[in-house]
Structure 1
């Protein structure tokens, strides 16, 4: 009888034949991706050979690397030398950062965590960036074998909602939802001027110039081979004469700096934008910080139904709303339907 196991043997060992159960959060994952998750050092070529020779089986039957797995199925894993899962890397988080991260949490359950990230805090590290959300996530492990992981990103200077997955399988499901545009993202921005018309769709391809921190996103011609299509819906929620407006923005694509460049292309740059706004975006009497906030997320929940989460405005945008007389209203509680 084939022994059953749930944990690969120690790194470097030649494993016995084991049978691993597919877990609930691994539903619909491809067999090759399942192996990469459990045996990260196993190459694609080696796995293909194991499948081709019938050494890998799913529920007792030969399987291809593209086979989609379902919860409860049993995967036969043959002896695999030097292909075992390494010990998890634990990143220490100081008490102050852990406390700050805890205050950012606006929703959590067994599958996801949603943060309301402050403006100025980077999501991931990079040149000159040593403090970032990704480096704090160990504080949200809460005894789980899995460290929460980022599903998407928002700009360092943008405040608002950031979605985390609590398991690798959940991360894969959520990433697929972003790719297929099942996730609806809504942003609020304060912009210089007032768009005409008051609502519409910005359909403008974008391209990246350069790389690293100095890279820029620019409007591009449709025939440009380096261009990526980018579409944003917008509506004016309120305006202070024609000097400043409150926009609700819904990006239908997810290009780097898309909203910032699209607003600038409308002739209404986002207030406080240091990169794309120009002089028009910097006004006396208002805090000179980017006025862009990831206000809400609506997405298919990994365990079924729809999750809707809304984030309170950042402090500097609250102050600007107060000065301009914009009424944000009560921030609704997260809900699943």
Structure 2
């Protein structure tokens, strides 16, 4: 019966929607729970229905939802229609274009905008707006038009997009060779004691929560990651830092700063939406909650971007202002910090 099902799968016109490889440290876990950790917004019932229909494969064999995933298992979700993100629709979305020529376009992405379509976000993305603005964008290895790098939905700031195949190859190599310049501003919990420093540690998918990234000892898990930082301003219980990326791993700044005990301010996924430093006074709690309302996302902005132009060979550098939501939050902390110092001196 199982062999018949495999034969059917080979003959059906099925499309891969998700593919995950279990790590060496994977503990036995039901495949429905495993996929819930990976697929954002998925429900256990939907995953179980997919398994019942034979749409969940482990090592190319259809499995039931109670199958226990083991280290190095290859888990795939296949369906009879292509992924929504492959059915790209051009949308007339206003884009904040910082620079554009025949080869590249630089965009200042607002917070809340997803970069490319994916599960639960099939429209309203930066890519939907780009393909409306520019015809025939080249696709990268993941079939995503124009993209050579990305930033998270709730991170604001600069992105460069390739308009030609040559620009795509040239820019991709720059990011691979780590020759681009990327500076981020981040507001983090706690007083970062060092004026400047470097955070090193392999970054890989968390074994506890697949929506998070964790930092691991060298060679144990994940990929090498290096973040350089310097303190810009201190506000008693939080610190504004400038981060220079030497590598570009998923959630790199967010994971690295949590690892050293300075989670990003209001970073819900990593626990920064809780009061991690400060007093127990109710007034302080209200103050922080007001800051969260002013800045309803992680306090992270891709402020500066530099790269070599693919055809002219010239270094292009772009810089953006800190967006209003972060600036307004910083101003609140400036006033709070100043009042705290003045009160302590009385």
Q: Tell me the TM-score normalized by structure 1.
A: 0.63
Pick the structure with greater CA Rg.
1
* Superposition deviation, residue 91 in structure 1: 5.0
Q: Could you tell me which residue of structure 1 aligns to residue 168 of structure 2?
A: 171
Q: Could you tell me which residue of structure 1 aligns to residue 122 of structure 2?
A: 130
Distance 2:331 2:212 in 1: 32
Q: Secondary structure at the match of 1:237?
A: strand
Matches within 5 A, 1:305-324: 305-324=314-333
1:268 partnered with 2:277: no
Q: Secondary structure at the match of 2:275?
A: helix
Distance 1:297 1:94 in 2: 26
Q: Could you tell me which residue of structure 2 aligns to residue 257 of structure 1?
A: 251
* Superposition deviation, residue 324 in structure 1: 3.1
Gaps of 5+ in 2: 1-85, 139-144, 277-284, 336-346
Match 2:216 to one of 214, 220, 236: 220
1:254-306: CA deviations, max 9, x gaps?
11111001111221111110111342369322133111000011111112110
1:183 partnered with 2:180: yes
Q: What is the Cα-based RMSD across aligned positions, in Å?
A: 2.4
Cα pair 2:103 2:163 within 8 Å, conserved: yes
Match 2:98 to one of 102, 106, 114: 106
Q: Could you tell me which residue of structure 1 aligns to residue 19 of structure 2?
A: none
1:293 partnered with 2:298: no
Corresponding residue pairs, total:
228
Q: In the superposition, relative to structure 1, how do residues 90 and 138 fare at CA in structure 2: closer, same or farther (>3 Å)?
A: farther
* Superposition deviation, residue 215 in structure 1: 2.7
1:196-251: CA deviations, max 9, x gaps?
2121000112221369x943211112241x321111000000111x2111100011
Q: Could you tell me which residue of structure 2 aligns to residue 80 of structure 1?
A: none
Match 2:110 to one of 111, 114, 118: 118
Specify which structure has the higher proportion of helix: 2
Q: In the superposition, relative to structure 1, how do residues 223 and 210 fare at CA in structure 2: closer, same or farther (>3 Å)?
A: closer
1:15-52: CA deviations, max 9, x gaps?
xxxxxxxxxxxxxxxxxxxxxxxxxxxxxxxxxxxxxx
